Amino acid sequence: MKRVGLLGGAFDPPHEGHLKLAHLAWEHLALDALRFLPAFVAPLKPSPTAPPAARLEMLKQMLAGTPYEIEEVEMEREDGPSFTAATLELLSKREPEARWVLVMGSDQAANFPQWRSAGKILGMASIAVAQRPWGLGRPESTLPNVLMARLSKSWSGAPGEAILLPSTDLELSSSAIKAQLAKGEEPDGLPASVKTVIVQNGIYR
């Protein structure tokens, strides 16, 4: 059994909050692999500002020297919104020995009941949630009922479990970073290697 974490998103741009979330998952879930999963178009978010090639290059630069990988299956489809259930079906056929856990912040987890085929997703993968620092109350308070009912202290490798990770303790968001870049400001939490790609491609001006 291969334990694989999937950290999805638009990564528009990727930042140190994403990297910290990956570190937490790597440390707490006994993973054999952790893959960043960039969406061609994230269903519940506006279309990305940066083109796919630039977002991939930013990720590659940020992850250089880390143990983490990039899973490009959603980028390769290039057919509109990237639905997680369809992605998991494809990956499970390609790697039947793998066991999947979706790694996300509590803001994403709060919207999980709105995801297409949420029940189907829980039949194929578990969910690991890190509390965003500005969340109110205990970490569990931000989880929807469907995940609260599945809480487990640790990930067994089976699908359908919900696991809490520590907070990233970083108040970062891609949208805030883009707004700062558009004003000519120097945002916190943007790796120098990612900033280089942004400048070279003239994005987020």
pLDDT value for 78: 66
- Residue 139: cis peptide before it, omega within 30 degrees of 0: no
With CA atoms as reference, report the closest residue to 60 among 71, 50, 51, 49: 71
Q: What is the pLDDT of residue 29?
A: 98
Instruction: Tell me what pLDDT residue 188 has.
Output: 93
Cβ atoms of residues 84 and 102 within 8 Å: yes
**pLDDT < 70 stretches in the chain:** 44-46, 78-79, 133-142
The CATH number corresponding to 2-201 among 3.40.390.10, 3.40.50.300, 3.40.50.620, 3.40.630.30 equals 3.40.50.620
| HSE (side-chain half, CA atoms, 13 Å) at 16 | 12
pLDDT digits over 175-205, tens only?
A: 999 999 999 999 999 999 999 999 999 999 8
Per-residue confidence (pLDDT) for residue 136, from 0 to 100: 38
The pLDDT of residue 34: 98
Q: Residue 77: its pLDDT value, please? A: 78
Q: Give whole-number Cα distances, 114 to 85, 110, 155, 171, 193, in Å.
A: 13, 9, 24, 24, 34
